[in-house]
Structure 1
Amino acid sequence: MKRRLLLQMTLNAPLLGMGLGLGSFGLASSLMPGTADAATREPPPRKPSRETSGPERRLVVIDPGHGGHDPGAIGVRGTLEKEITLDISREIARKLRGTRGVSVSLTRDDDIFLPLADRVAVAREAGADLFISIHADSAPNRDARGLSAYTLSDKASDDFSFALAKQENLADGAGGIDLRHTRPQVAAILSDLVARHTVSASLMAKSSLVEGAGRSLRLLDNPKRSANFAVLKAPDVPSVLIETGFLSNERDEELLRDRSQRRRIADVLSRELAGLLTSAPFA
């Protein structure tokens, strides 16, 4: 992957950073304040196995939101977000495994709790080309319903997205990426070079997924949004958070409780992900 090559080149050539100063940090520092480590992060407790069928395969890591002692949102009828996200994510993964040129892994495949930072680390450690976090949260407005997608931004695109991110980030208080142990010149170049690709690819993925899904599924008003979600803070993995609906809305909860409707959502998302990964310049 291009971003991996850039990262390796930067680590092997620290003198390139001389004279550039911390101004090179630019985009990365604004998007990932307190940013974290590309080179010194401890390995995550769980690492998904990547299917091996040649270097041309693109890996998507699907992240079922919440889990274990964190149920996520709870609907009026007692529906647990952690169960909805796991079921949809498993089905997406099952369908994508039949797609030529695509590999897929899950951050969790059962009812366990993973800190937000570990979810990010799983994708980075696996060398993912794309990270998709699946959710079905409570919305600030109970009338809000439909699918929407979010990318990382230091400043939220709107109050709705800000409230969602604030709620999600409370899951374990996870922060961003730590470059404290990387010499400043190297950290500056690494962050700037890699983040440029990551931001561009994340925005492209968000747009493609929403536009494709909108042909088959109901969308939230203004479905392409952004906010400072901790789970999207990998500096070298394009990342998108997808709200499949909102359990705070009775009609969305009814749909998400229906197994056939969850299969329909998974069908649409797997279709769009397959098209994206086999045609877009992620590698």
Structure 2
Amino acid sequence: MDRRLFIRIACSASALLVAADAAAADAPRPGKSPRRRVVMIDPGHGGRDPGAIGVRGTLEKDVTLAIARETARRLDQQFGVLAGLTRRDDRFLGLSERVALGRRAGADLFVSIHADSAPAKEARGLSAYTLSEEASDSFASALAKQENRADAIGGVDLGDTKKVVRDILFDLAARHTKHASLVAKRGLVAGAGRDLPLLENPMRSANFAVLKAPDVPSVLIETGFLSNEDDEAILRDPKARLRIAAVLARELAGVVSRDPFA
């Protein structure tokens, strides 16, 4: 049989099996509740890596941890979503470690929280990013290069799986991951924009290392930019951070309750 034809047939068969398994796993059983969705929240930077530093000395690692912890708390207590954190305190984690934690948790969605320095000081507002080999614009490209300096991405171990099968499974996972990531980005921005200021062109993409899990939909959220004085004033305010977390929790819960997550 021609190899291309074999691969097409195998892809179709694998897709049907994956869909069937997913449906069976998620289908409510008599006397049992539907499976709770899992969101892994990644507070950017930490430990010896402070991230961006605002003009008033605000550290990005502190902003991201505060917002991430409150978002996780609200997801769990208000919306019934299982929320994990890649870090719960001020510690350094490599980018590959963050990716691995999301994969090990079997997360339906991985969300990396940031408050970086922007390429332009006038840039402010919330924005969301998904993975792309080619950046959507120079702004996103500069952010990705800045973030990727923290560490290098680790490889994905698929063990001794035969190459043809491995390629098929990787392709299936990557297609679902890319689609679900885009759905999450659009939903988050559309919902958060009702209550929070948005960056001009708030939906972008670039080659962020922390978004590279092939089987976990992933989004990076810039809650604002510490390089902007107005954004820094908001991000250093505990009450404002609580408000941002409340909006993110609401929108994340909505995102993972819909297709392609449901």
- State whether TM-score is above 0.5: yes
Q: How does 1:69-108 map to 2 (within 5 A)?
A: 69-108=48-87
Q: CA RMSD in A?
A: 2.1
The corresponding residue for 1:254 is: 233
- Number of residues of Structure 1 aligned to a counterpart in Structure 2: 238
| 1:136 aligned residue | 115
1:65-100 C-alpha deviation (Å, 9 max, x unpaired):
000100000111111000000000000011111245
Q: Does the C-alpha gap of structure 1 residues 55 and 139 become closer, same or farther in structure 2, counting only changes over 3 Å?
A: same
Deviations 1:127-148 (A, max 9, x none): 0000000000000111100000
Q: What is the alpha-carbon distance in structure 2 between the residues aligned to residue 181 and residue 162 of structure 1?
A: 35
1:185 equivalent in alignment to 2:170: no
2:125 is matched with which residue: 146, 165, 170? 146
Deviation at 1:275, TM superposition (A): 1.2
Deviations along 1:5-33, whole A, 9 cap, x unmatched? xxxxxxxxxxxxx9646xx7xxxxxxxxx
- Label 1:114 to 1:20 Cα distance change in 2 as closer, same or farther (>3 A): farther
| Structure with larger RCO (C-alpha < 8 A, sep 6+) | 1
Change (3 A) 1:282 1:95: same
The one of 177, 186, 195 aligned to 1:207: 186
Identical-pair percentage: 67
Pairing 1:278–2:225 present: no
What is the rounded CA distance, in whole Å, between the counterparts of 1:185 and 1:119 in structure 2? 28
When structure 1 is superposed on structure 2, of 91-100 and 80-89 the one drifting more is: 91-100
User: Who is 1:163 aligned against?
Assistant: 142
Deviations 1:26-71 (A, max 9, x none): xxxxxxxxxxxxxxxxxxxxxxxxxxx9661110000000001000
Q: Would the aligned equivalents of 1:176 and 1:230 in 2 still touch at CA under 8 Å?
A: no
CA contact (8 A) 1:99 1:274 kept: no
1:180 CA displacement? 8.1
Deviation, 1:183, is: 3.0
The CA distance in 1 between the partners of 2:237 and 2:201, in whole Å, is 25
1:244 aligns with 2:232: no
Contact 1:102 1:278 in 2 (8 A): no
Q: CA deviation at 1:187?
A: 2.0
- TM-score if structure 1 supplies the norm length? 0.79
Segments of 5+ residues of structure 1 without an aligned counterpart are 1-17, 25-52
Which amino acid counterpart does residue 256 of structure 1 have in structure 2?
L
Unaligned runs of 5+ in 2: 8-31
Q: What is the rounded CA distance, in whole Å, between the counterparts of 1:215 and 1:176 in structure 2?
A: 38
2-structure distance, mates of 1:112, 1:188: 36
- What amino acid sits opposite 2:195 in the alignment? S
Q: Give the equivalent residue in structure 1 for 2:16.
A: none
Identify if the C-alpha distance between structure 1 residues 127 and 180 changes in structure 2 by more than 3 Å, giving closer, same or farther: closer
Contact 1:136 1:245 in 2 (8 A): yes
| Equivalent in the alignment of 2:94 | 115
Q: Secondary structure of the residue that 2:241 maps to in structure 1?
A: helix
Instruction: Give the drift of 1:220.
Output: 0.2
Q: Which amino acid aligns with 1:96?
A: L
Deviation of the 1:211 alpha carbon: 0.4
2:176 aligned with 1:197, yes or no? yes
Counterpart residue number, 1:10: none
**Is 1:79–1:253's contact at 8 Å kept on the other side of the alignment?**
yes
User: Within 2, Cα distance between the matches of 1:202 and 1:66?
Assistant: 22
What is the CA–CA distance in structure 1 between the aligned matches of 2:42 and 2:76, rounded to whole Å? 15
Alpha-carbon distance between aligned partners in 2 of 1:220 and 1:60, rounded to the nearest angstrom: 24
Mapped to 1, the partners of 2:143 and 2:246 lie a distance apart of 25
1:176 Cα deviation (Å)?
Answer: 5.1
* SS in structure 1 of the partner of residue 257 of structure 2: helix
Distance 1:20 1:175 in 2: 30
